[in-house]
Chains A and B, each alone.
Chain A
Amino acid sequence: MRKLKKRELPEIPLASTADVAFLLLIFFLVAASAGTDRGLPLDLPGTERSKDLKEVENLEITIKPDMLLVGAKPLEQDEDLVEKIRFHLEGKINPEERVVLIQADDAVSYQRWTEVVSAVELAGGIPAPQIEEAGGEASPGP
């Protein structure tokens, strides 16, 4: 009669499991912190284009807490803003002519300001925030 040999069961080596888990943890940490930021560039006073700005008459938008002025006229509804800016920029090809000056009241929120800047961008204009310096005089954007 044949004797049965005792055979050892094959085992998967698990010594490096902790290392692998640790590397995966680091990978996902780096991946999560690296890929979340999305945004848009913003031209500011001090750029080369700002020198030529005064020579061209640009559209100016004033944001107040309760209303919006396009040129000197108050705007009834926000939905019309993109169309209104498009109308003003019609026929203007040069980038200097397409600059839209944006002046915001002190109390206006960043969200509101971003909405107006976005409308200018969607209409094909170049938003130029007018920033008031400590002396009170507004400086033009790009």
Chain B
Amino acid sequence: MKVIRRRTNASAIPLCSTADIAFLLLIFFMVLAKATNESTVDWKPAITPVPLNMMSNSAVTVIVDRQNSLFINGMPSSVAELKDSVGAYLGNKPRGQRQVLLKVDREVPARVFTQVMLELGEVSADIFRILEPPSAPLNR
């Protein structure tokens, strides 16, 4: 007796797009990690009537939050460490490329923010104050 055997195709999961997915996930988490660092810091920019310039992304961002705590690129730090940390980020870059974004909460007292400015001046940083125009909403 002749037995007819059915041929079955072996099922396979298509793996062509695995690399694409992995790459997209990598980018996603990189972007998310950067966004999370700074978004957790509680600060409101000071308001100025002077026309503001758009700031390009900088290597270093220094934030002083409402509780007078200091953050460098989203990581908690202190005024004592500021000079060395920012200096390490800036390295031997020439003037004009030593951009530091300074984000100070509007309630921070002068004894704190002037000290931060002094330390940044010591490493010859090109400081850009991040501010807000009057028309923008007060709560950020």
Contact = CB atoms under 8 A, between A and B. Distances in A.
Given A42-B129, A110-B108, A129 B101 contact: no
B-side interface mostly: mixed
Contacts of A34: 57
Interface of B: 17, 20, 24, 27-28, 31-32, 34-35, 46-50, 52-55, 57, 101-102, 104-111, 113-115, 117-118, 120-122, 124-133
A40 interface: yes
Contacts of B54: 35, 37-38
A129 B114 contact: yes
A106 B48 contact: no
Given A29-B31, A111-B47, A44 B53 contact: no
A37 B108 contact: no
Contacts of B107: 109-111
Given A22-B24, A40-B48, 19 more contacts: A26-B31, A29-B28, A38-B53, A38-B133, A39-B52, A40-B50, A40-B52, A40-B129, A105-B110, A106-B110, A107-B110, A107-B111, A110-B46, A110-B113, A114-B47, A114-B131, A117-B48, A118-B50, A133-B118
A38 B111 contact: no
A108 interface: yes
B110 A108 contact: yes
A53 interface: no
Contacts of A131: 114-115, 117-118, 121
Contacts of B125: 44
A19 interface: yes
6 contacts: A35-B54, A38-B53, A39-B101, A41-B127, A47-B124, A131-B115
